[in-house]
A and B are shown apart, each in its own frame.
Chain A
Amino acid sequence: MTGWSPARVWRSRIHRYRLIAARCTSCGRAHYPPSNACPYCGSRSLDNVELPRVGRLLSYSVVYTTPFEDKSRAPIVIGLIDLGVAKLIAEVVDVTPEDLEVGVSVEAVFRRVSVDGSTGLIVYGVKFRPRREG
Protein backbone atom coordinates (compact mmCIF):
# COMPACT_ATOMS: atom_id res chain seq x y z
CA MET A 1 0.00 0.00 0.00
CA THR A 2 1.33 3.43 -0.94
CA GLY A 3 -0.07 6.87 -0.31
CA TRP A 4 -0.05 6.53 3.47
CA SER A 5 0.57 9.58 5.60
CA PRO A 6 3.79 9.58 7.64
CA ALA A 7 1.70 9.86 10.81
CA ARG A 8 -0.32 6.76 9.98
CA VAL A 9 2.80 4.71 9.39
CA TRP A 10 4.34 6.05 12.60
CA ARG A 11 1.21 5.21 14.65
CA SER A 12 1.36 1.56 13.64
CA ARG A 13 5.12 1.07 14.08
CA ILE A 14 5.02 -0.81 17.37
CA HIS A 15 2.53 -3.50 16.43
CA ARG A 16 3.80 -3.85 12.88
CA TYR A 17 7.48 -4.09 13.74
CA ARG A 18 7.05 -6.34 16.77
CA LEU A 19 3.92 -8.31 15.80
CA ILE A 20 1.94 -7.09 18.79
CA ALA A 21 -1.63 -8.38 18.86
CA ALA A 22 -4.48 -7.42 21.19
CA ARG A 23 -5.86 -10.00 23.61
CA CYS A 24 -9.34 -9.69 25.00
CA THR A 25 -9.46 -9.90 28.79
CA SER A 26 -13.13 -11.00 28.60
CA CYS A 27 -13.11 -13.87 26.10
CA GLY A 28 -9.36 -14.47 25.98
CA ARG A 29 -9.05 -14.37 22.21
CA ALA A 30 -6.26 -12.52 20.38
CA HIS A 31 -6.49 -10.59 17.13
CA TYR A 32 -4.01 -8.86 14.83
CA PRO A 33 -3.61 -6.04 13.94
CA PRO A 34 -4.94 -4.77 17.27
CA SER A 35 -8.30 -2.97 17.20
CA ASN A 36 -9.94 -0.89 19.92
CA ALA A 37 -12.45 -3.64 20.67
CA CYS A 38 -12.51 -7.41 20.45
CA PRO A 39 -13.85 -8.56 17.04
CA TYR A 40 -15.23 -11.71 18.70
CA CYS A 41 -17.13 -10.47 21.77
CA GLY A 42 -17.05 -6.68 21.44
CA SER A 43 -15.28 -6.09 24.74
CA ARG A 44 -13.20 -2.93 25.00
CA SER A 45 -10.98 -4.45 27.65
CA LEU A 46 -7.82 -5.56 25.85
CA ASP A 47 -4.18 -6.04 26.61
CA ASN A 48 -1.19 -6.65 24.37
CA VAL A 49 0.41 -9.93 23.47
CA GLU A 50 3.45 -10.50 21.27
CA LEU A 51 2.68 -13.09 18.61
CA PRO A 52 4.90 -16.12 17.99
CA ARG A 53 7.21 -15.52 15.05
CA VAL A 54 6.83 -19.02 13.67
CA GLY A 55 3.63 -20.43 12.22
CA ARG A 56 2.04 -22.54 9.55
CA LEU A 57 0.97 -21.53 6.05
CA LEU A 58 -2.74 -22.40 5.77
CA SER A 59 -3.13 -21.18 2.21
CA TYR A 60 -1.61 -18.75 -0.28
CA SER A 61 -2.17 -16.99 -3.56
CA VAL A 62 0.35 -15.97 -6.21
CA VAL A 63 -0.68 -12.46 -7.24
CA TYR A 64 0.10 -11.09 -10.70
CA THR A 65 -2.38 -8.18 -10.70
CA THR A 66 -0.31 -5.81 -8.62
CA PRO A 67 -0.29 -2.02 -8.55
CA PHE A 68 2.32 -0.31 -10.71
CA GLU A 69 4.84 0.29 -7.91
CA ASP A 70 5.03 -3.47 -7.31
CA LYS A 71 5.03 -4.50 -10.95
CA SER A 72 8.71 -5.42 -10.94
CA ARG A 73 8.17 -7.63 -7.89
CA ALA A 74 5.25 -9.60 -9.41
CA PRO A 75 4.23 -12.25 -8.83
CA ILE A 76 3.83 -11.60 -5.11
CA VAL A 77 2.86 -14.43 -2.75
CA ILE A 78 0.14 -13.60 -0.22
CA GLY A 79 -0.33 -16.12 2.57
CA LEU A 80 -2.85 -16.95 5.27
CA ILE A 81 -0.69 -17.74 8.27
CA ASP A 82 -1.66 -19.44 11.51
CA LEU A 83 0.44 -18.29 14.47
CA GLY A 84 -1.50 -20.36 16.96
CA VAL A 85 -3.10 -17.63 19.06
CA ALA A 86 -4.07 -15.65 15.94
CA LYS A 87 -4.10 -15.85 12.16
CA LEU A 88 -3.05 -13.13 9.76
CA ILE A 89 -2.57 -12.41 6.08
CA ALA A 90 0.91 -11.32 5.02
CA GLU A 91 3.35 -11.50 2.16
CA VAL A 92 5.51 -14.62 1.86
CA VAL A 93 9.03 -13.99 0.57
CA ASP A 94 12.28 -15.75 -0.28
CA VAL A 95 10.50 -18.53 -2.15
CA THR A 96 9.67 -19.48 -5.71
CA PRO A 97 5.91 -20.08 -5.86
CA GLU A 98 6.35 -23.56 -7.37
CA ASP A 99 8.25 -24.67 -4.27
CA LEU A 100 5.54 -23.57 -1.87
CA GLU A 101 2.86 -25.80 -0.41
CA VAL A 102 0.04 -25.60 2.07
CA GLY A 103 1.10 -26.57 5.59
CA VAL A 104 4.75 -25.51 5.50
CA SER A 105 6.31 -23.86 8.52
CA VAL A 106 7.01 -20.14 8.09
CA GLU A 107 8.89 -17.55 10.15
CA ALA A 108 8.62 -13.78 10.46
CA VAL A 109 11.22 -11.54 8.82
CA PHE A 110 11.52 -7.75 8.89
CA ARG A 111 11.25 -6.31 5.39
CA ARG A 112 10.51 -3.28 3.28
CA VAL A 113 6.79 -3.42 2.41
CA SER A 114 6.33 -0.49 0.04
CA VAL A 115 8.19 2.37 -1.58
CA ASP A 116 6.07 5.37 -2.52
CA GLY A 117 7.92 6.67 -5.57
CA SER A 118 11.27 8.45 -5.34
CA THR A 119 10.14 11.07 -2.82
CA GLY A 120 7.51 9.27 -0.76
CA LEU A 121 7.69 7.04 2.26
CA ILE A 122 9.42 3.71 2.55
CA VAL A 123 7.23 1.51 4.73
CA TYR A 124 8.58 -1.44 6.67
CA GLY A 125 6.85 -4.36 8.31
CA VAL A 126 6.83 -8.09 8.90
CA LYS A 127 6.70 -10.65 6.12
CA PHE A 128 7.12 -14.40 6.35
CA ARG A 129 9.45 -16.89 4.72
CA PRO A 130 9.53 -20.69 4.72
CA ARG A 131 11.49 -21.95 7.68
CA ARG A 132 14.83 -23.53 6.85
CA GLU A 133 15.33 -27.15 7.87
CA GLY A 134 17.49 -27.91 10.89
Chain B
Amino acid sequence: MAYITGVGLVNVDRHYDKGIRGLAFEAASKALDSSMSSEVDFIVVASSLSYLQEPQLDLASYIASSIGLRGARSIAVESGEASGLAAVMTAKTLVESGVASRVLVVGVDKVSDHPSWRAYKHLSMLYDTESDAFYSIGLGGVAGLLMRLYMHVYKVDRLTLAYWPALMHSNAKKNPYAMLRFSITPEKVLEAPPVAEPLTLLDTFPLGDGAAALVVEGSPSRGALAEIAAVESATGYQSVALSDDPLKIESLEVAYMRLVERTTLESIDVVELHDSFTIMGVLELETLRLAERGKAAEAVAQGYFSVGGGGPVVNPSGGLKARGHPIGATGVYQVAEVALQLAGEFPGLQVEGAKGGLVVSLNAAGSSSYIAYLRSVR
Protein backbone atom coordinates (compact mmCIF):
# COMPACT_ATOMS: atom_id res chain seq x y z
CA MET B 1 0.00 0.00 0.00
CA ALA B 2 1.20 3.52 -0.78
CA TYR B 3 -0.36 6.78 0.31
CA ILE B 4 0.18 10.42 -0.48
CA THR B 5 0.60 12.36 2.74
CA GLY B 6 1.84 15.67 1.43
CA VAL B 7 1.91 17.68 -1.78
CA GLY B 8 3.71 20.82 -2.83
CA LEU B 9 3.12 22.71 -6.06
CA VAL B 10 4.79 25.73 -7.62
CA ASN B 11 2.71 27.68 -10.13
CA VAL B 12 3.82 26.90 -13.66
CA ASP B 13 5.28 30.06 -15.17
CA ARG B 14 8.39 31.65 -16.63
CA HIS B 15 10.40 31.72 -13.40
CA TYR B 16 13.41 33.64 -14.68
CA ASP B 17 14.34 34.51 -11.12
CA LYS B 18 14.50 30.90 -9.90
CA GLY B 19 16.78 28.05 -10.87
CA ILE B 20 16.02 24.38 -10.98
CA ARG B 21 17.19 23.89 -7.38
CA GLY B 22 15.18 26.85 -6.13
CA LEU B 23 12.00 25.53 -7.72
CA ALA B 24 12.66 22.03 -6.37
CA PHE B 25 13.25 23.50 -2.91
CA GLU B 26 9.98 25.41 -3.00
CA ALA B 27 7.89 22.38 -4.00
CA ALA B 28 9.71 20.01 -1.63
CA SER B 29 9.36 22.39 1.34
CA LYS B 30 5.62 22.73 0.76
CA ALA B 31 5.17 18.96 0.46
CA LEU B 32 7.17 18.22 3.62
CA ASP B 33 5.38 20.97 5.57
CA SER B 34 1.96 19.69 4.48
CA SER B 35 2.88 16.14 5.56
CA MET B 36 3.83 17.55 9.00
CA SER B 37 7.29 15.99 8.99
CA SER B 38 10.57 16.78 7.33
CA GLU B 39 11.94 13.27 7.68
CA VAL B 40 12.70 11.60 4.38
CA ASP B 41 14.65 8.42 3.81
CA PHE B 42 14.57 8.42 0.02
CA ILE B 43 14.26 11.16 -2.59
CA VAL B 44 13.24 10.40 -6.16
CA VAL B 45 13.89 13.23 -8.61
CA ALA B 46 12.00 13.39 -11.90
CA SER B 47 13.44 15.65 -14.56
CA SER B 48 14.10 15.40 -18.25
CA LEU B 49 15.07 18.57 -20.07
CA SER B 50 17.47 19.62 -17.31
CA TYR B 51 20.05 17.09 -18.50
CA LEU B 52 20.18 19.00 -21.78
CA GLN B 53 19.40 22.49 -20.58
CA GLU B 54 21.28 23.07 -17.33
CA PRO B 55 23.15 20.89 -18.27
CA GLN B 56 23.57 18.86 -15.07
CA LEU B 57 24.13 15.17 -14.51
CA ASP B 58 23.51 13.27 -11.24
CA LEU B 59 20.70 15.69 -10.59
CA ALA B 60 19.14 13.74 -7.72
CA SER B 61 22.24 14.04 -5.53
CA TYR B 62 22.71 17.74 -6.18
CA ILE B 63 19.05 18.51 -5.59
CA ALA B 64 18.91 16.38 -2.43
CA SER B 65 21.86 18.20 -0.90
CA SER B 66 20.78 21.65 -2.02
CA ILE B 67 17.33 21.31 -0.44
CA GLY B 68 18.66 20.16 2.94
CA LEU B 69 18.40 16.41 2.48
CA ARG B 70 22.09 15.52 2.30
CA GLY B 71 22.45 11.94 3.45
CA ALA B 72 19.10 10.77 2.11
CA ARG B 73 19.17 7.98 -0.42
CA SER B 74 18.47 9.40 -3.85
CA ILE B 75 17.76 8.31 -7.37
CA ALA B 76 16.87 10.18 -10.56
CA VAL B 77 14.21 9.03 -12.98
CA GLU B 78 14.27 10.18 -16.59
CA SER B 79 11.53 8.90 -18.88
CA GLY B 80 11.01 11.96 -21.01
CA GLU B 81 7.61 13.56 -20.57
CA ALA B 82 6.53 10.59 -18.45
CA SER B 83 9.35 11.06 -15.91
CA GLY B 84 7.01 12.35 -13.20
CA LEU B 85 4.66 9.39 -13.14
CA ALA B 86 7.60 7.00 -13.58
CA ALA B 87 9.08 8.57 -10.42
CA VAL B 88 5.81 8.06 -8.54
CA MET B 89 5.84 4.41 -9.66
CA THR B 90 9.39 4.14 -8.30
CA ALA B 91 8.38 5.73 -4.98
CA LYS B 92 5.44 3.37 -4.61
CA THR B 93 7.70 0.39 -5.26
CA LEU B 94 10.21 1.67 -2.70
CA VAL B 95 7.67 1.94 0.12
CA GLU B 96 5.85 -1.28 -0.75
CA SER B 97 9.08 -3.26 -0.87
CA GLY B 98 10.06 -1.95 2.55
CA VAL B 99 13.22 -0.30 1.22
CA ALA B 100 11.90 3.07 2.38
CA SER B 101 9.09 4.27 4.59
CA ARG B 102 8.88 7.94 3.57
CA VAL B 103 9.78 8.93 0.03
CA LEU B 104 9.90 12.45 -1.32
CA VAL B 105 9.20 12.69 -5.05
CA VAL B 106 10.31 15.93 -6.67
CA GLY B 107 9.58 16.70 -10.31
CA VAL B 108 11.24 19.74 -11.81
CA ASP B 109 12.06 21.18 -15.22
CA LYS B 110 12.70 24.63 -16.64
CA VAL B 111 11.29 24.87 -20.13
CA SER B 112 11.56 28.65 -20.54
CA ASP B 113 15.20 29.18 -19.51
CA HIS B 114 16.49 29.02 -23.08
CA PRO B 115 15.20 30.78 -26.20
CA SER B 116 12.25 28.92 -27.68
CA TRP B 117 14.14 27.75 -30.79
CA ARG B 118 16.55 25.90 -28.52
CA ALA B 119 13.67 24.50 -26.45
CA TYR B 120 12.11 23.17 -29.67
CA LYS B 121 15.36 21.36 -30.43
CA HIS B 122 15.53 19.87 -26.93
CA LEU B 123 11.85 18.92 -27.04
CA SER B 124 12.26 17.18 -30.40
CA MET B 125 14.70 14.83 -28.65
CA LEU B 126 11.75 13.37 -26.75
CA TYR B 127 11.14 11.58 -30.06
CA ASP B 128 13.38 8.85 -31.43
CA THR B 129 16.56 10.46 -32.72
CA GLU B 130 17.28 7.36 -34.84
CA SER B 131 14.06 7.79 -36.79
CA ASP B 132 11.54 10.65 -36.47
CA ALA B 133 13.87 13.20 -34.87
CA PHE B 134 16.60 12.56 -37.45
CA TYR B 135 14.59 15.14 -39.38
CA SER B 136 13.61 18.60 -38.18
CA ILE B 137 10.31 17.60 -36.56
CA GLY B 138 10.43 20.59 -34.20
CA LEU B 139 7.92 20.83 -31.39
CA GLY B 140 4.90 19.17 -32.91
CA GLY B 141 5.70 17.53 -36.23
CA VAL B 142 4.58 14.04 -35.23
CA ALA B 143 1.49 15.23 -33.34
CA GLY B 144 0.59 17.42 -36.32
CA LEU B 145 0.60 14.53 -38.76
CA LEU B 146 -1.39 12.40 -36.30
CA MET B 147 -3.99 15.15 -36.13
CA ARG B 148 -4.29 15.36 -39.90
CA LEU B 149 -4.56 11.57 -40.08
CA TYR B 150 -7.32 11.64 -37.43
CA MET B 151 -9.26 14.32 -39.33
CA HIS B 152 -8.84 12.38 -42.57
CA VAL B 153 -9.76 8.92 -41.24
CA TYR B 154 -12.71 9.95 -39.07
CA LYS B 155 -13.90 12.98 -41.10
CA VAL B 156 -13.63 15.26 -38.10
CA ASP B 157 -13.26 18.97 -38.82
CA ARG B 158 -10.66 21.26 -37.31
CA LEU B 159 -13.19 23.32 -35.34
CA THR B 160 -14.54 20.26 -33.48
CA LEU B 161 -10.99 19.53 -32.34
CA ALA B 162 -10.65 23.11 -31.07
CA TYR B 163 -13.08 22.53 -28.22
CA TRP B 164 -10.36 20.68 -26.34
CA PRO B 165 -8.09 23.69 -25.74
CA ALA B 166 -11.16 25.84 -25.02
CA LEU B 167 -12.24 23.42 -22.28
CA MET B 168 -8.72 23.26 -20.86
CA HIS B 169 -8.51 27.05 -20.60
CA SER B 170 -11.92 27.19 -18.98
CA ASN B 171 -10.90 24.54 -16.42
CA ALA B 172 -7.63 26.30 -15.59
CA LYS B 173 -9.20 29.63 -14.74
CA LYS B 174 -9.51 28.93 -11.03
CA ASN B 175 -6.35 26.84 -10.67
CA PRO B 176 -3.76 29.00 -8.86
CA TYR B 177 -0.95 26.76 -10.19
CA ALA B 178 -1.97 27.06 -13.86
CA MET B 179 0.09 29.12 -16.29
CA LEU B 180 -2.75 30.18 -18.62
CA ARG B 181 -5.77 31.31 -16.63
CA PHE B 182 -7.94 32.92 -19.29
CA SER B 183 -10.75 31.79 -21.56
CA ILE B 184 -10.41 31.15 -25.27
CA THR B 185 -13.02 30.26 -27.86
CA PRO B 186 -12.64 27.33 -30.26
CA GLU B 187 -12.58 29.85 -33.12
CA LYS B 188 -9.56 31.54 -31.53
CA VAL B 189 -7.63 28.23 -31.68
CA LEU B 190 -7.98 28.18 -35.47
CA GLU B 191 -6.82 31.77 -35.78
CA ALA B 192 -3.68 31.25 -33.69
CA PRO B 193 -0.26 31.04 -35.39
CA PRO B 194 0.56 27.59 -36.77
CA VAL B 195 2.96 25.40 -34.81
CA ALA B 196 2.81 22.20 -36.84
CA GLU B 197 -0.20 22.41 -39.13
CA PRO B 198 -2.93 21.53 -38.58
CA LEU B 199 -1.87 22.23 -34.95
CA THR B 200 -1.78 25.85 -33.87
CA LEU B 201 -0.12 27.52 -30.92
CA LEU B 202 -3.33 27.10 -28.90
CA ASP B 203 -3.30 23.32 -29.42
CA THR B 204 -0.11 22.95 -27.48
CA PHE B 205 1.33 23.62 -24.05
CA PRO B 206 2.98 26.91 -23.08
CA LEU B 207 6.73 26.82 -22.42
CA GLY B 208 6.80 27.20 -18.64
CA ASP B 209 8.89 26.14 -15.65
CA GLY B 210 7.60 24.20 -12.70
CA ALA B 211 8.22 21.92 -9.78
CA ALA B 212 5.89 19.62 -7.89
CA ALA B 213 6.53 17.34 -4.94
CA LEU B 214 4.81 14.51 -3.10
CA VAL B 215 5.42 12.63 0.10
CA VAL B 216 4.66 8.93 -0.38
CA GLU B 217 4.37 6.65 2.65
CA GLY B 218 3.65 2.97 3.16
CA SER B 219 1.86 3.27 6.48
CA PRO B 220 1.13 6.86 7.32
CA SER B 221 0.90 7.85 10.98
CA ARG B 222 -1.41 10.75 10.10
CA GLY B 223 -4.22 11.11 7.62
CA ALA B 224 -3.38 10.70 3.96
CA LEU B 225 -4.78 12.68 1.04
CA ALA B 226 -5.29 9.60 -1.15
CA GLU B 227 -4.10 6.08 -1.80
CA ILE B 228 -2.03 5.30 -4.88
CA ALA B 229 -3.92 2.09 -5.62
CA ALA B 230 -1.87 1.07 -8.65
CA VAL B 231 0.57 2.41 -11.23
CA GLU B 232 1.27 0.55 -14.43
CA SER B 233 3.23 1.18 -17.60
CA ALA B 234 4.30 -0.20 -20.94
CA THR B 235 6.81 0.71 -23.61
CA GLY B 236 5.68 1.26 -27.17
CA TYR B 237 7.03 1.61 -30.69
CA GLN B 238 9.98 3.92 -31.30
CA SER B 239 7.90 5.73 -33.93
CA VAL B 240 4.21 5.90 -34.79
CA ALA B 241 5.34 4.86 -38.28
CA LEU B 242 5.94 1.34 -36.94
CA SER B 243 2.37 1.02 -35.71
CA ASP B 244 -0.34 -0.58 -37.83
CA ASP B 245 -2.81 1.76 -36.15
CA PRO B 246 -1.10 5.08 -35.35
CA LEU B 247 -4.38 6.51 -33.98
CA LYS B 248 -4.30 4.07 -31.08
CA ILE B 249 -1.65 4.55 -28.40
CA GLU B 250 -0.63 0.96 -28.01
CA SER B 251 1.64 1.45 -24.99
CA LEU B 252 -1.24 3.14 -23.16
CA GLU B 253 -3.65 0.38 -24.07
CA VAL B 254 -1.27 -2.23 -22.63
CA ALA B 255 -0.59 -0.15 -19.50
CA TYR B 256 -4.33 0.27 -18.95
CA MET B 257 -4.97 -3.48 -19.33
CA ARG B 258 -2.27 -4.12 -16.74
CA LEU B 259 -3.81 -1.52 -14.42
CA VAL B 260 -7.28 -3.11 -14.43
CA GLU B 261 -5.68 -6.50 -13.77
CA ARG B 262 -3.88 -5.05 -10.78
CA THR B 263 -6.71 -3.14 -9.11
CA THR B 264 -10.44 -2.53 -9.30
CA LEU B 265 -11.36 0.86 -10.70
CA GLU B 266 -14.44 1.35 -8.54
CA SER B 267 -15.16 4.85 -9.74
CA ILE B 268 -13.46 7.11 -12.30
CA ASP B 269 -14.68 10.58 -11.37
CA VAL B 270 -11.68 12.57 -12.47
CA VAL B 271 -8.92 12.05 -15.05
CA GLU B 272 -5.72 14.04 -15.48
CA LEU B 273 -4.30 13.08 -18.85
CA HIS B 274 -1.40 14.05 -21.07
CA ASP B 275 -2.63 16.61 -23.62
CA SER B 276 0.74 17.82 -24.85
CA PHE B 277 -1.19 18.50 -28.05
CA THR B 278 -4.96 18.50 -28.61
CA ILE B 279 -4.71 15.31 -30.64
CA MET B 280 -2.91 13.46 -27.84
CA GLY B 281 -5.71 14.18 -25.37
CA VAL B 282 -8.27 12.95 -27.88
CA LEU B 283 -6.33 9.76 -28.70
CA GLU B 284 -5.89 8.98 -24.99
CA LEU B 285 -9.62 9.27 -24.31
CA GLU B 286 -10.27 6.83 -27.14
CA THR B 287 -7.48 4.44 -26.19
CA LEU B 288 -8.90 4.28 -22.64
CA ARG B 289 -12.36 3.70 -24.16
CA LEU B 290 -13.79 6.71 -22.40
CA ALA B 291 -15.01 7.67 -25.87
CA GLU B 292 -15.67 5.72 -29.04
CA ARG B 293 -12.96 5.84 -31.66
CA GLY B 294 -13.29 8.94 -33.80
CA LYS B 295 -15.82 10.44 -31.38
CA ALA B 296 -13.78 11.89 -28.50
CA ALA B 297 -13.45 15.38 -29.98
CA GLU B 298 -17.20 15.53 -30.54
CA ALA B 299 -17.84 14.31 -26.98
CA VAL B 300 -15.57 17.06 -25.65
CA ALA B 301 -17.40 19.64 -27.76
CA GLN B 302 -20.74 18.43 -26.38
CA GLY B 303 -19.55 18.78 -22.79
CA TYR B 304 -19.39 15.07 -21.95
CA PHE B 305 -16.07 15.50 -20.08
CA SER B 306 -17.02 18.80 -18.41
CA VAL B 307 -18.44 19.15 -14.91
CA GLY B 308 -22.02 17.86 -15.01
CA GLY B 309 -21.46 16.02 -18.30
CA GLY B 310 -21.98 12.26 -18.55
CA GLY B 311 -18.33 11.25 -18.26
CA PRO B 312 -15.51 11.76 -15.80
CA VAL B 313 -14.25 15.32 -15.48
CA VAL B 314 -11.13 15.46 -17.63
CA ASN B 315 -8.23 17.72 -16.67
CA PRO B 316 -9.92 19.99 -14.11
CA SER B 317 -6.42 21.43 -13.62
CA GLY B 318 -6.43 22.77 -17.17
CA GLY B 319 -4.17 19.97 -18.35
CA LEU B 320 -0.82 20.35 -20.05
CA LYS B 321 -2.52 22.83 -22.34
CA ALA B 322 -3.36 25.43 -19.70
CA ARG B 323 -1.86 24.38 -16.36
CA GLY B 324 1.34 23.92 -18.29
CA HIS B 325 3.83 21.15 -18.97
CA PRO B 326 7.18 21.41 -17.17
CA ILE B 327 8.19 18.18 -18.91
CA GLY B 328 9.71 15.92 -16.22
CA ALA B 329 7.59 17.47 -13.46
CA THR B 330 4.21 17.12 -15.15
CA GLY B 331 3.36 13.62 -13.90
CA VAL B 332 4.02 14.74 -10.33
CA TYR B 333 1.66 17.71 -10.80
CA GLN B 334 -1.02 15.37 -12.14
CA VAL B 335 -0.76 12.94 -9.21
CA ALA B 336 -0.78 15.82 -6.71
CA GLU B 337 -3.85 17.33 -8.39
CA VAL B 338 -5.82 14.08 -8.39
CA ALA B 339 -4.83 13.43 -4.75
CA LEU B 340 -6.14 16.89 -3.83
CA GLN B 341 -9.33 16.23 -5.80
CA LEU B 342 -9.93 12.99 -3.89
CA ALA B 343 -9.30 14.76 -0.59
CA GLY B 344 -11.74 17.51 -1.61
CA GLU B 345 -8.96 20.09 -1.31
CA PHE B 346 -8.14 21.06 -4.90
CA PRO B 347 -7.93 24.86 -4.94
CA GLY B 348 -9.25 25.16 -8.52
CA LEU B 349 -12.13 23.35 -10.18
CA GLN B 350 -13.01 20.75 -7.52
CA VAL B 351 -14.95 17.67 -8.63
CA GLU B 352 -17.40 17.25 -5.77
CA GLY B 353 -17.43 13.87 -4.07
CA ALA B 354 -14.71 12.36 -6.28
CA LYS B 355 -13.87 8.84 -5.08
CA GLY B 356 -11.39 7.67 -7.69
CA GLY B 357 -9.20 9.17 -10.38
CA LEU B 358 -6.84 8.26 -13.20
CA VAL B 359 -3.52 9.85 -14.09
CA VAL B 360 -2.14 9.28 -17.58
CA SER B 361 1.35 10.29 -18.59
CA LEU B 362 3.29 9.37 -21.67
CA ASN B 363 6.33 10.35 -23.65
CA ALA B 364 6.18 11.70 -27.19
CA ALA B 365 3.42 9.84 -29.07
CA GLY B 366 3.61 6.84 -26.71
CA SER B 367 7.24 5.59 -26.67
CA SER B 368 6.15 4.72 -23.16
CA SER B 369 2.93 5.21 -21.21
CA TYR B 370 2.21 5.28 -17.49
CA ILE B 371 -1.18 5.16 -15.82
CA ALA B 372 -2.16 5.38 -12.16
CA TYR B 373 -5.37 4.87 -10.25
CA LEU B 374 -5.80 6.87 -7.06
CA ARG B 375 -8.46 6.15 -4.48
CA SER B 376 -10.06 8.37 -1.88
CA VAL B 377 -9.34 7.51 1.75
CA ARG B 378 -11.82 9.95 3.30
Contacts and interface: CB of A to CB of B under 8 A. Distances in A.
Contacts of A114: 136
B149 interface: yes
Nearest to A61: B144
B141 A63 contact: yes
Interface stretch (B155-163, B232-240, B297-305): B232-240
Q: Which of A66, A75, A88 has the largest count of B CB atoms less than 10 A from its CB?
A: A66
14 contacts: A1-B124, A1-B134, A58-B149, A59-B145, A61-B145, A62-B196, A63-B195, A63-B196, A67-B117, A67-B120, A80-B240, A88-B131, A88-B239, A102-B148
Q: Which of B129, B140, B196 has the largest count of A CB atoms less than 10 A from its CB?
A: B196
Interface string A61-89: 11111111011010110111100001111
Given A1-B133, A33-B131, A67 B138 contact: yes
Contact of A59 (B131, B132, B152, B195): B152
B152 A65 contact: no
A62 B199 CA distance: 9
B118 A88 contact: no
Interface in A82-98: 86-91, 97
Q: Which of B121, B135, B237 has the largest count of A CB atoms less than 10 A from its CB?
A: B135
A33 to B, nearest CB: 6
B121 A68 contact: yes
A90 B149 CA distance: 15
Contact of A39 (B120, B136, B137, B237): B237
A31 interface: yes
B139 interface: yes
A125 interface: yes
Contacts of B140: 61, 63, 65
A46 to B, nearest CB: 14
Contacts of A91: 135-136
Contacts of B19: none
B44 interface: no
A61 B141 contact: yes
B205 to A, nearest CB: 12
Interface string B180-221: 000000000000011111110000000000000000000000
Nearest to B122: A67
Contacts, number: 133
Nearest to B148: A59
Contacts of B196: 61-65, 78
B358 to A, nearest CB: 27
Given A39-B237, A61-B140, A62-B197, 10 more contacts: A1-B129, A16-B134, A35-B238, A63-B137, A67-B118, A78-B142, A78-B144, A80-B145, A80-B241, A88-B241
B195 A78 contact: no
Q: Which 7 A-B pairs have the closest CB atoms?
A: A61-B144, A67-B121, A65-B139, A59-B149, A62-B197, A78-B141, A65-B138
B246 interface: yes
Contacts of B193: 64
A97 B196 CA distance: 12
A27 interface: no
A114 B147 CA distance: 26
B241 A1 contact: no
A113 B240 CA distance: 21
A62 B200 CA distance: 11
Contact of B118 (A58, A61, A68): A68
A91 B134 CA distance: 10
Q: Which of A67, A73, A75 has the largest count of B CB atoms less than 10 A from its CB?
A: A67
A62 B144 contact: yes
A126 B16 CA distance: 41
Nearest to B124: A67
A58 B338 CA distance: 38
Contacts of A75: 194, 197
A113 B131 CA distance: 13
Nearest to B123: A65
A12 B129 CA distance: 12
B118 A65 contact: no
B130 interface: yes
Contact of A80 (B120, B134, B149, B237): B149
